[in-house]
């Protein structure tokens, strides 16, 4: 038996990446729509309801419209947009989030793919909140650096336009209205009283990212705890999780003291490292914004929902 898969939004960055990851999977039949037919509501509706599983790689409004077109109760949906990430009727797609999350994903017909920044922040903070090291009442500071592919085809075209060669050499902060679209899910999934003080930036590289969460020992930590104890806590929390790597020796992990944002590219791996001084703790999540931060996470969820080997088509 082959599972029928349809990617609604197959011409966008995430959709193209999912197609690339699934194209050689013998247990899948990929349903496609032509460029000419992609706006034909009848063609699209037929494919949405014919599929065993649909990936939605669309803007929020279009994603919600596509969900309304699905009348086949057997069709499972994975939404890569932000449209349903705080909807309690949808399952949040981080299988490693809690001991029961994988089972929830497996039994769900509606799963949302987490945002890339949110994935790094949530996976760093969840073990600390669950173990009452950090209170959900605290105001947490987070900064992220991502490759320009995170901005979709529009930003990719700008950065890769030969006319702009040498124009974007620095890291460029954005979303400076302090209302980034991943903030609601960061707050919702972790049960925070306040959304984090979050500032993202885009770098002059295509993919990869670092998500950095800052903790003041005297203000944000409920208990006295060392960097090594936090590492042990992470190792226990994510024990057995093949896509999560906890870094034990932080300085051997670095490249001459630097941390390269691109070392997890083309994998579904997230690496969590911890650094400390007398007053502060810094937790850094490194991941591929197009892998564990988007298409990789989507494929991981698909594997779980279809009862397949979770690592099929993915690189550790």
Q: How crowded is residue 74: how many other Cβ atoms within 10 Å of its Cβ? A: 10
DSSP state of 255: B
At 61 the three-state DSSP class reads helix
Q: Based on the residue annotation, tell me whether 264 is a catalytic residue of this protein.
A: no
CA 113 to chain centre: 6
Q: Out of 57, 116, 142, 264, which one is annotated catalytic?
A: 116
Q: Is residue 259 within 8 Å of 271, Cβ to Cβ?
A: no
Neighbouring C-alpha atoms within 13 Å toward the C-beta of 142: 31
Phi–psi pair at 233, nearest 5 degrees:
-65, -45
CB of 227 within 8 A of CB of 276? yes
Which tokens in the block code for residue 242?
């093949």
Residues involved in catalysis: 116
């Amino acid at each position: 038996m082959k599972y029928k898969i349809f990617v609604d939004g197959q011409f966008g960055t995430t959709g193209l990446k999912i197609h690339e990851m699934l194209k050689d999977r013998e247990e899948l039949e990929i349903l496609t729509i032509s460029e000419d037919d992609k706006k034909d509501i009848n063609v699209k509706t037929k494919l949405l309801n014919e599929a065993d599983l649909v990936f939605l790689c669309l803007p929020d409004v279009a994603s919600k419209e596509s969900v309304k077109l699905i009348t086949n109760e057997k069709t499972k949906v994975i939404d890569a947009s932000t449209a349903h990430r705080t909807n309690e009727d949808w399952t949040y797609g981080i299988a490693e989030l809690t001991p029961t999350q994988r089972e929830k994903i497996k039994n769900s017909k509606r799963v949302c793919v987490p945002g890339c920044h949110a994935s790094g922040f949530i996976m760093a903070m969840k073990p600390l909140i669950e173990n009452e090291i950090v209170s959900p009442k605290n105001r947490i500071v987070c900064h992220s650096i991502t490759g320009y592919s995170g901005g979709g085809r529009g930003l990719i075209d700008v950065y890769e336009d030969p006319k702009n060669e040498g124009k974007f050499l620095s890291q460029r902060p954005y979303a400076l209205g302090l209302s980034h679209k991943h903030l609601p899910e960061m707050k919702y999934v972790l049960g925070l009283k306040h959304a984090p003080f979050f500032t993202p930036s885009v770098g002059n590289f295509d993919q990869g990212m670092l998500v950095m969460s800052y903790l003041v020992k005297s203000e944000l930590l409920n208990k006295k705890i060392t960097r090594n104890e936090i590492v042990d806590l992470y190792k226990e929390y994510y024990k057995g999780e093949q896509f999560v790597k906890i870094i034990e020796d932080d300085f051997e992990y670095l490249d001459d003291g630097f941390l390269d944002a691109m070392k997890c590219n083309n994998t579904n791996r997230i690496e969590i490292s911890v650094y400390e001084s007398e007053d502060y703790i810094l937790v850094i999540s490194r991941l591929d914004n197009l892998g564990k931060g988007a298409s990789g996470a989507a494929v991981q969820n698909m594997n779980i929902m279809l009862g397949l080997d979770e690592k099929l088509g993915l690189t550790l």
